[in-house]
Structure 1
Amino acid sequence: MMLGSLRVRLLAIALLLLTCGIVISDVVVAGLLRQHLVSRVDRQVTGLAALMARIDPALMRAADDAASERLRGGLDLVSDLSLVYLDAAGQPIGRTRTMRDGPAPEPPPATPTSPGVVTGVRGGDGSAWRQITQSRPGGGTVTVAASLSAVDAVMARLRLVCAATGAVLVLLLGTAGWMAIRAAFRPLRAIEDAAVAIAGGDLSRRIPARAPPGSEVARLTGVLNGMLDRIEEGAVVRAESEARMRRFVADVSHELRTPLFGIAGSAELHLMGGGAEVDRTMRRIDSEARRLTDLVENLLLLARLDESRAVPETAPMDLRTLAVDARDDLIALDPGRPVTLTGPLAGPPSAAPLIGDEARLRQVVTNLVGNVHAHTPAGSPVRIGVGRLDGESVLEIADSGPGIPAGQAELIFERFHRGDGARVRDGRGGAGLGLSIVRSLVAAHGGRVEAVSPPGGGATFRLRFPAINEAPATDADHSGLASGSGLASGSGLASENVQGLCGNGQERRPGSSACWNYVD
């Protein structure tokens, strides 16, 4: 057992306080008892002195020992008496002494004191006496001294009893206190054991509730268990984050390596003398360089979104503009595809005002349109809904393709996610960042994106944003929604402006005026 143990220190402090209390109480009791006994001796000596002052010294000289011994008959606390008669000149004219059997203390010298006042004096051997001087009626004085040896004997026995009683009490209470402290510290022992197990790596370990409800230990146990829950959750999240980071690094390495190998291979072929294939080689290098540039730009965009720095400028806008653009993009990519413009879920389209960065949100819609074009059969119908739903501004794109595989509704927004887990892409495939960018850009606007697959097939991507009270009305909105066909003014997809407005990761399909990209 270590001396530094809290249990030992608590017990030592308790026993020290107990001992101090016992000692103080014994001293106080002994002092009061001695004072009482001495006062009683003083009263007896005073009465005896008054009596002896009226007796002739000659009678005392003639008295035998038995008569002298009877002087102590009523003095229960006096074991030794000394009487000395003095004449007017202070000379002794008679002396009497009574004592019990055994060694007797040496009486004090017969020194006159103030008449009628009891004083404490010391005998020749240093023993304690009480002495009083009483004037005699015929002249002279009588000095009566009583030994306090009987009082000292009583006090000695009292101290012995108190010491023995205190020692037994300290021993018994110390034993009981040790058992009580061990019982009280048993919940803390459980906390210590749990802490040791957790330090060894067992994050699932919890502290058992052994203390009474509402006690300090019970509250501490609850707080520690709550803290351990958060630590375990943090460890799980960190492990998942590290696993995602490892997958991310591996996927980035693969995606960067593929175009780099294409560029290096084409350059090496050219250096080996393939002069007749210069144009095709340069086109291959240009294509792979663009692919590499798009990947790096998308990664940088995601990094800026992670740092909340990708939406620098916002202004009031209406999602109807983006809905018209999405309809026109789909028609431009696949003229035979029927595209319907409705409200959310059903009904006519309506205003969907919000505060946002129109260029970034246009990129979101373009990614979703490219997703529909890449993953749904040609000519399959698409519904675009825009308006308010549950107090939010909503834009949704619902296709009639194969839908989202079970359990993939959240995973499809992960970076580099592939539904089949494969790394290999066809020539038109992207890097798997499109939907990640969609979710990050929507989140940067304070919104959220939902992906659902209705029972009848197909997939619906629904964008939800905090709505504002009023939407800015534009000619592009009214003309696009009213006409139901053609490219809306300001959509950014007119043939004369499409080259300058196509963003990173977007291409212009041959024969089309729309900016689009392939998104997984």
Structure 2
Amino acid sequence: MRRLLGRLSLRARLLVMTAVLLLVGLSLISAIVTNRLETYQVEQVDDQLDSVTTIISRVPEATPDEIESSVDRPELLESGLEALGVPYLVYFDEHGNVTTDVHAPTLDAESLPSHDELRAIDDDGAAVDVAAADGSGRWRAVGHPTTGRDGTVVAATPMIEADATMDRLRAASMIGGVVVLIVLTVVGWFALGRGLRPLRRIERTAAAIADGDLTERVPALAPPSTEIGRLAGSLNTMLGQLDRAFTDQAASETRMRTFLADVSHELRTPLVGIKGSTELYRMGALTERADIDEAMDRIDREATRLNALTEDLLLLAQLDEAPEGQLDRAPMDLRTLANDARHDLHTLDPSRPVELTGLTGLNGSGQPGAAPVDADEARLRQVVTNFVGNAAAHTPPGTAVRIGVGALDGRAVLEVADDGPGMAPEQASRAFDRFYRANRSRNRSAGASAGLGLSIARSLARAHGGDVELDTALGAGARFRLVLPLLHED
């Protein structure tokens, strides 16, 4: 049965289970009602028999001849017996012999209970079932001892009509139950179809997603407080997460391909220079001492560049795997780094105005504020040097640079701002990506950046529990910020 139900649709299974429950419920209700009604009818008959038998048992016995002679019209006897509800009376003496047998004339003598069945009835007033002599139906009979003489009077009444009534009631209940079951089943079929319609919509949505359309969503099929509404909401949440996961995966794969391509190119560039110089030397093309020295210098520069690139890549890998393990923390103040950065930039370009201020924005002034942190000074110096180097490399000579330091909203902040050309939004959004350069030209000088500086700066900042920020716009300069947790001294 379970296997058969398992092959049916959810709609059919629900309908079958509902129909079975309805059938059981209707059957129980019908059985209880008919049983109670039958019990009530029998109790009414029993009470009537007991009352009449009690009264008759106290009346002196009369023979049939006396009864007939006392009544001028026989139909009055029939009416009297039927009016009392006891169409059959039998008197037994102390030996069990029938002394009087009176029944309504409308009753056929063959349909009466036998004297043997009536004789066996106890005289305690308890009603019992007895069968008709011809088997046409059952009777109810009650016996009482006669008063003033030894013997028993038994009153009996047929239950044929009552039983027929109950049979008709049972048949009507069965037919009515079947009709109700059919009607409710049909109504339930359409109601279940309407109720399960949202599930079919969800099924179609799932099929569309299985075909690759991850943008498909389940529409609002029901209020969120209902089971269907909660299911649709949960599915949409899951689909959104899957969509984002696939999108992130695709973006990650794209970044990985770009990263590998950039790494290959960055490694190839110095290797080509080294390979070219060695080939020229091997071919004997470098005959002059000056040419040989120049080739050796080029090999040294490219080797240095290659070493710096591999060191940067190794540092990024280490920061990705175990960032905290790459730090040697100690209490320090960012003002030290800001002051050193100002001197370094002034030494690099004496013509460039460099100002050390507080956190007052690009056009403000103010004294540098305290910014104590628990950090690796060498690693943070690498971050600040990168910020200052970017300001020097990507702004015209003589462009003013401001280095601000202080505490803001419970965080230690060091910023490097310039009045240079700034960056477009699409450039700013990728400024911290690995190997990203605003100028994608591959024809760079040997000393050009590989595009890892800002990526390393961000990784180092995050390893310290902070981050880096960029505020820029075309023609509005750029401001790089190092944001770290502020050290609170106990």
Instruction: Please state which band the TM-score falls in when normalised by the shorter chain.
Output: 0.7 to 0.9
**What is the root-mean-square deviation in Å for CA atoms of aligned residues?**
3.4
* C-alpha distance 196-454 of structure 1, shift in aligned 2 (>3 A): closer
In the TM superposition, 1:253-332 aligns within 5 A as 253-273=264-284, 276=287, 279-307=293-321, 308-309=323-324, 311-332=326-347
CA distance in 1, matches of 2:400, 2:68: 150
The answer as to whether partners of 2:341 and 2:388 remain within 8 angstroms in 1 is yes
**Greater shift after overlay, 376-385 or 350-359?**
376-385
Q: Corresponding residue for 2:40?
A: 36
* C-alpha distance 55-364 of structure 1, shift in aligned 2 (>3 A): same
- AA partner of residue 379 (structure 2): R
Matched residue pairs, number? 468
The answer as to whether partners of 1:301 and 1:310 remain within 8 angstroms in 2 is no
The answer as to whether partners of 1:409 and 1:451 remain within 8 angstroms in 2 is yes
Displacement of 1:432 in angstroms is 0.9
Equivalent position SS for 2:428: coil
Q: Corresponding residue for 1:223?
A: 234
Equivalent position SS for 1:131: strand
CA distance in 2, matches of 1:470, 1:61: 126
Determine if the alignment matches structure 1 residue 89 to structure 2 residue 95. Answer: yes
Q: Corresponding residue for 2:456?
A: 437
Q: Corresponding residue for 1:500?
A: none
Displacement of 1:112 in angstroms is 4.3
More helix by share: 2
* Identical pairs, percent: 45
Of 129, 135, 139, which residue of structure 2 is paired with 1:129?
Answer: 139
In the TM superposition, 1:63-102 aligns within 5 A as 69-70=78-79, 72-74=81-83, 82-98=88-104
CA distance in 1, matches of 2:110, 2:438: 114
Determine if the alignment matches structure 1 residue 238 to structure 2 residue 249. Answer: yes
Displacement of 1:360 in angstroms is 0.2
* C-alpha distance 102-246 of structure 1, shift in aligned 2 (>3 A): farther
Displacement of 1:435 in angstroms is 1.4
Displacement of 1:387 in angstroms is 3.2
Unpaired runs of 5+ residues, structure 2, are none
CA distance in 2, matches of 1:288, 1:10: 77
CA distance in 1, matches of 2:412, 2:469: 13
Can you list the C-alpha shifts for 1:303-359, whole angstroms capped at 9, x where unaligned?
222232464221111222212222222233334444333333312334332221100
* C-alpha distance 176-453 of structure 1, shift in aligned 2 (>3 A): closer
Can you list the C-alpha shifts for 1:387-421, whole angstroms capped at 9, x where unaligned?
34455433233344443345322322211112133
In the TM superposition, 1:84-163 aligns within 5 A as 84-98=90-104, 105=111, 107-108=113-114, 109=116, 110-123=118-131, 124=133, 127-136=137-146, 137=148, 139-163=150-174
Of 3, 20, 24, which residue of structure 2 is paired with 1:20?
Answer: 24
The answer as to whether partners of 1:112 and 1:133 remain within 8 angstroms in 2 is no
Determine if the alignment matches structure 1 residue 362 to structure 2 residue 362. Answer: no
CA distance in 1, matches of 2:149, 2:311: 134
CA distance in 1, matches of 2:403, 2:30: 96
* C-alpha distance 156-3 of structure 1, shift in aligned 2 (>3 A): farther
Of 52, 60, 68, which residue of structure 2 is paired with 1:54?
Answer: 60
Q: Corresponding residue for 1:479?
A: none
Unpaired runs of 5+ residues, structure 1, are 472-520
The answer as to whether partners of 2:142 and 2:154 remain within 8 angstroms in 1 is yes
- AA partner of residue 138 (structure 2): A
In the TM superposition, 1:379-394 aligns within 5 A as 379-389=398-408, 391-394=410-413
Q: Corresponding residue for 1:496?
A: none
Give the TM-score normalised by structure 2: 0.83
Determine if the alignment matches structure 1 residue 461 to structure 2 residue 480. Answer: yes
Can you list the C-alpha shifts for 1:369-390, whole angstroms capped at 9, x where unaligned?
3323433344444333333445
Displacement of 1:25 in angstroms is 2.1
Give the TM-score normalised by structure 1: 0.78
The answer as to whether partners of 2:198 and 2:221 remain within 8 angstroms in 1 is yes
**Greater shift after overlay, 146-155 or 445-454?**
445-454
Of 2, 10, 25, which residue of structure 2 is paired with 1:6?
Answer: 10
Can you list the C-alpha shifts for 1:57-99, whole angstroms capped at 9, x where unaligned?
34279689867644643266x7xx5544433332334545557
Equivalent position SS for 2:196: helix
CA distance in 2, matches of 1:103, 1:217: 72
Can you list the C-alpha shifts for 1:478-502, whole angstroms capped at 9, x where unaligned?
xxxxxxxxxxxxxxxxxxxxxxxxx
Displacement of 1:249 in angstroms is 1.3
